[in-house]
Chain A
Amino acid sequence: MPGETALIVILLLPFMAAFVAGFLPQTARNTEAWLAGVVAVIGLGLSLWLYPQVTDGGVVRAEWTWMPSLGLNFVLRMDGFAWLFSVLITGIGLLVVLYARYYMSPSDPVPRFFAFFLAFMGAMLGLVLSGNIIQMAVFWELTSIVSFLLIGYWHHNASARDGARMALTITGTGGLCLLVGVLLIGHIVGSYDLDVVLASGDTIRDHDLYAPTLILVLLGALTKSAQFPFHFWLPHAMAAPTPVSAYLHSATMVKAGVFLLVRFWPVMAGTDLWFLIVGAAGLSTLLLGAYFAIFQQDLKGLLAYSTISHLGLITTLIGLGSPLGLVAAIFHIVNHATFKASLFMAAGIIDHETGTRDMRRLSGLRRALPITATLAMVASAAMAGVPLLNGFLSKEMFFTEAVENHTGSLLDQSLPYVATLAGMFSVVYSLRFIHKVFFGPDAVGLEKEPHEPPHWMRLPIELLVLACLIVGIIPGITIGPFLASAVTSVLGPETPYYSLSIWHGFNLPLLMSIVALVGGVLIYLALQRYLSSGIEGPPWFRNLKGQRIFERLLVTLSWRWAKALEKLLGTRKLQPQLRLLIGTVLLAACLPLFMGRFAPNLSAFVGFDLGFATMWAVGMACAVIAAYQAKYHRLVALMLMGGAGLVTCITFVWFSAPDLALTQLLVEIVTTVLILLGLRWLPKRMDAPELVRPATLMVTLRRYRDLLLAIVAGLGTAALSFAVMTRPAFDSVSRFFLERAYTEGGGTNVVNVILVDFRGFDTLGEVVVLATVAITIYVLLRRFRPAAESVGLPEQQRIQADFDAEQPHRRPGDTLTDYLNIPSVIMQWMFPVIIVLSMYLFLRGHELPGGGFAAGITMSIGFILQYMAGGTRWVEAHLRILPLRWIGWGLLFAGGTGIASTLFGFPFLTSYFQYLEVPLIGRVPVASALLFDLGIFLLVVGATVLILIALAHQSVRSPKAARAPRPLGPVGGEQ
């Protein structure tokens, strides 16, 4: 198997397994663990197998095209440093899986846990193996998202939800900064490929954008690694199940930040700005984390703050900018992962066995948990930096670097003192952890009787502690080669000489270690009183909670300010919103007008035609009166609206748009019928005296303001259309359509060819909208019962009925029966004529004005005329129209024509045309577009008729008020 395949398997396997894990049954705890374990073993095995290829600066690289248009490739790249991380991720992942198998209770939803866990492993591997910096940012965000899910795993728990949300907000925001940062790097370097980026360190450091780029990348790294002042999410993330904490906060999630710092170290480090930001953040985190850790009462809280402190140590080492510092940093990354993972697991066992993590309640556990106690003690000693353990070695290297002179600044000068102080603090909290939990009298009042956990649960700790010991005693032959390959891959030829031996003779760093150890013990003894008081948190800083500041900030930003803004600008009424919208559009439209220095070209004011002008004047008058009458005289308004529509229609005829004129005319007819049908069921004119309120001044003012706004908008539009008309036409895509309509579309009516051929997909979408509307209306009206006020007979019918009643020889209803009898007969006779007209319009559509839509509307007008002439019951007794079927067939035809072209290997809706010899008629062009048009025709008929019939049926329905109220007494069987 070549290296490339191994890389992609390492990356993809966890994601695929995560998918499978998510679908396993709730009770499959063992299967899940086996699945996750096997994935981790394969990943670990493949990584180990790749080791010979990454020594001495070797790189395994695999590349696939990702977005070639942007020059982006999906690159997997493993060098010595990425290898080290891969082994940490898969190796510690394997141990955590084993541990989690025993930690998770059978009542927990394990599929979710293992699915997220595996996805996290995959995201983390993707991050460290990325050979493209954009891809790296993507996996980076993926780790944030999956860690959110893992931290919030027990989502019934409010603290888990809060902790998860906080972690996501902070690391996610950092991730966005990182994304912008890598985009800037890509801009500076001209490539997103990691190898290219790593080779252009000087270009980046000398660029003008170096400072913003650095700050953005650092924001990403420092938030992820929980560096001060972004550290506070980490302690709250302890609400996660302990295996998650052991994994995320030892080897993976928080290490991603320092991974990134080391990755970009060769190209970004070494400047004053780097030292200032990274060094200061690291140093303050180192000290504050250690100080806070001393005063935690929660076991995991102590470990969380100690993690923050150790990450601060690593960050400080990276910030120094010296190659030796980097070696120490990488070394400490590994050491910290081993002892911290084991400590988290030990804390989890204690929690599991006693039911509490509160150190105030824990005591004397060494008798009940002798083996766990021993393991935890060794791991804590490593954390404290006791000789013969791995923590001691990297801490010595840190002290050595601390006393070196780097920049000579105040920060640099204070380094040895701060380092020693932090060393003391770490001794204090390690000591406290051991002394408080395992020594002293037996704990009382525990929920459970503690005893040693199953051996398999303890095995991961044993292995990790063993690693601490071996590395601590014989570092040169255990970790040495791997560390060397990792360091070489980052530093290349700059790799300094370093020694991993335990004994360097009596020197200043050793003295600092001794001071730290002794001082730590003394401080612990001095703090006994304060610590035994059981107060959570350190003196002085106790009340300064990062979480509270964060929450206040969030509440202010996303709630208070938003609420204030809503109060200021928001409204619960429709009209102000519309007014705002129109005002904004007006402003937006004015902007280009002023910027482009618009001046109307009045010289074009020629060719005044009295005929046109009169017609348009009529149109405007119609519109104005329609608007004026809209409130009280709806029928008048409706007629005048029709007039305005007709003027539009004539304008289309006059200016060479026969298709538009035809369609507009037909749609006007249907719309008018529709409103007439609808008005019957809408409230009548509001002229009842109690309903007409005298217009107050406010109302009048409001109406004038609206009118003013409308006039300004109208004048603007008028100016716009005038400006457009008086400028020469530019060469648009129209030429393309004109030239190809006949030669490629096979039709002479260019507009129709555009609709059914060139832009056929748009038309398909449009008729689907029509069908959707028709069906929606059908559903809306299916159970509709008219309002009680509209139930009575219309006024005209009432007058006719009264007339009938007065005449001795007439019965009520006679006039109605004879009403408009002659027009009715004519309408019925016209039916076949209209159908033929519709066919005619349909068939000529490709060549001359017409087409499926116009034909469809015509056909539906034919149907609705029958309804008007004969009444609903009469038509339905004689004609069976099934509009839903028409819609269905129409969609099938239109869509089917499109799909048919894909069957022949052409894109969707490609049309085909051919001439056909038809007897008697001669050569006829036959285009597949005609079939498409047929679909449109059928659909339009169906949709329009469905809408109109749904409305017409209202008069047949028994009205709402006619539903008799239920009798209150015993229900008789008389009905």
Chain B
Amino acid sequence: MDVAIALLVGAFMTLGIFLMLSRSVIRMLLGLALLGNGINLLIFVSGRLSREAPPIVPPGAYVPEGAIANPLPQALILTAIVIGFAMFAYLLILGMRAYQSLDADHTDTMRLAEPEDGPRPPLSY
């Protein structure tokens, strides 16, 4: 089952990267979401997998006994999920604004700051 979850991580990463390399803003967005899932899972498996042992101290005990899931990657991923959500929301709205203001949902046509045939940035000494 290690292989299977490793392949899942690989698939998420592959498709995430593939979509992010696209020029369409929406595809990039979807790619970002997939990439986020892949990375979260990667962090998750780096803490090793354990079944039916959530990192919760059982009632009456002070310290969890026996094998227990690694809480550290979980805490990291929880933060990552929140930040990923914020990032996604921000990019989505930015994409919307770009479509409205620049009439472009394609990165090659977003050329307001650096027009294709515009002069190069100032290079004088």
Contacts and interface: CB of A to CB of B under 8 A. Distances in A.
A950 B89 CA distance: 12
A683 B27 CA distance: 12
Interface residues of B, number: 92
Interface string B103-123: 101011000001010000001
A517 interface: no
A734 B74 CA distance: 10
B57 A742 contact: yes
A101 B63 CA distance: 76
B97 A626 contact: no
Interface stretch (A24-32, A214-222, A529-537, A780-788): A780-788
Contacts of A755: 75, 78-79
A682 B30 CA distance: 14
B92 A678 contact: yes
B49 A725 contact: yes
A657 B6 contact: no
B114 A751 contact: no
A777 B31 CA distance: 21
Contacts of B23: 574-575
Interface string A629-660: 01100100110010011011001101111111
Contact of B2 (A604, A674, A741, A853): A604
A555 B124 CA distance: 9
B15 A710 contact: yes
Nearest to B25: A682
Given A605-B2, A743-B63, A573 B9 contact: no
B1 to A, nearest CB: 5
Given A559-B125, A637-B30, A706-B21, A656 B77 contact: no
Interface stretch (A87-95, A450-458, A506-514, A607-615): A607-615
Contacts of A630: 19, 22, 24, 26-27, 30
B54 to A, nearest CB: 4
Nearest to A572: B114
A725 B79 contact: no
Contacts of A74: none
Nearest to B121: A566
Contact of A738 (B45, B71, B97): B71
Nearest to A713: B17
B34 A623 contact: yes
A620 B11 contact: yes
Contact of B45 (A707, A710, A724, A777): A724
A750 B41 contact: no
Contacts of A627: 15, 18-19, 30-31, 34
A846 B125 CA distance: 61
Q: Is the interface of B mostly helix, strand, loop or mixed?
A: helix
A164 B120 CA distance: 28
Nearest to B42: A721
Nearest to B115: A572
A729 B7 contact: no
A616 B4 contact: yes
A749 interface: yes
Given A607-B1, A608-B1, A737-B71, A626 B92 contact: no
Contact of A750 (B15, B38, B71, B97): B71
Interface string A715-749: 11111111011100100111001110111000011
A664 interface: yes
Point out which of B7, B52, B55 has the most chain A C-beta atoms below 10 A from its C-beta.
B55
B26 to A, nearest CB: 6
A738 B63 contact: yes
B107 A748 contact: no
Contacts of A741: 57, 71
Nearest to A574: B107
Interface stretch (A188-196, A254-262, A302-310, A768-776): A768-776
A853 B38 CA distance: 22
A732 to B, nearest CB: 6
Given A559-B125, A781-B93, A947-B89, A623 B56 contact: no
Contact of B55 (A607, A709, A738, A762): A738
Given A655-B44, A724-B45, A732-B72, A848 B56 contact: yes
A798 interface: no
Contact of B71 (A612, A644, A734): A734
A721 B108 contact: no
A923 interface: no
Contacts of B90: 773, 776-777
Interface residues of A, number: 118
Contacts of B2: 604-605, 607, 722, 725-726
Contacts, number: 309
Contacts of A722: 2-3, 6
Contacts of B61: 742
Contacts of B72: 732-734, 737, 754
B10 A710 contact: no
A724 B48 CA distance: 8
A709 B22 CA distance: 13
Contacts of B38: 717
Contacts of A716: 10
A706 B21 CA distance: 7
B34 A626 contact: yes
Contacts of B44: 651-652, 655, 657, 660
Contact of A657 (B54, B57, B85): B54
A649 B107 CA distance: 32
Contacts of B12: 619, 623, 644, 714
Nearest to A847: B56
A619 B8 contact: yes
Contact of B7 (A555, A559, A616): A616
Contacts of A664: 81
Interface in B30-74: 30-31, 33-34, 37-38, 40-42, 44-59, 61-64, 68-72, 74
A830 interface: no
Contacts of B41: 648, 651, 721
A9 to B, nearest CB: 44
Contact of A780 (B13, B87, B93): B93
Contacts of A715: 10, 14
Contacts of B81: 660, 663-664, 667
B13 A717 contact: yes
Interface in A539-592: 551, 554-555, 558-559, 563, 572-575, 578-579, 582
Contacts of B57: 741-742, 748, 750
B120 to A, nearest CB: 9
B51 A655 contact: yes
Contacts of A559: 123, 125
A582 B125 CA distance: 33
Contacts of B107: 573-575
Given A620-B11, A623-B11, A763 B79 contact: yes
A275 B75 CA distance: 64
A759 interface: yes
13 contacts: A574-B23, A616-B8, A627-B30, A641-B34, A645-B33, A651-B8, A719-B6, A748-B58, A750-B55, A754-B75, A774-B89, A780-B93, A849-B56
CB-based closest 8 A-B pairs: A714-B14, A718-B10, A710-B18, A656-B69, A722-B6, A748-B57, A710-B17, A750-B55
Given A733-B72, A755-B78, A781-B93, 15 more contacts: A578-B20, A605-B2, A609-B1, A623-B11, A651-B44, A655-B50, A682-B96, A709-B21, A710-B14, A710-B17, A717-B10, A721-B45, A734-B71, A759-B75, A781-B96
Interface of A: 551, 554-555, 558-559, 563, 572-575, 578-579, 582, 604-605, 607-609, 612-613, 616-617, 619-620, 623-624, 626-627, 630-631, 634, 637-638, 641, 644-645, 647-648, 651-652, 654-660, 663-664, 667, 670-671, 674-675, 678, 681-683, 706-707, 709-711, 713-722, 724-726, 729, 732-734, 737-739, 741-743, 748-751, 754-755, 759, 762-763, 766-767, 769-770, 773-774, 776-777, 780-781, 784-787, 847-849, 853, 943, 947, 950-951, 960
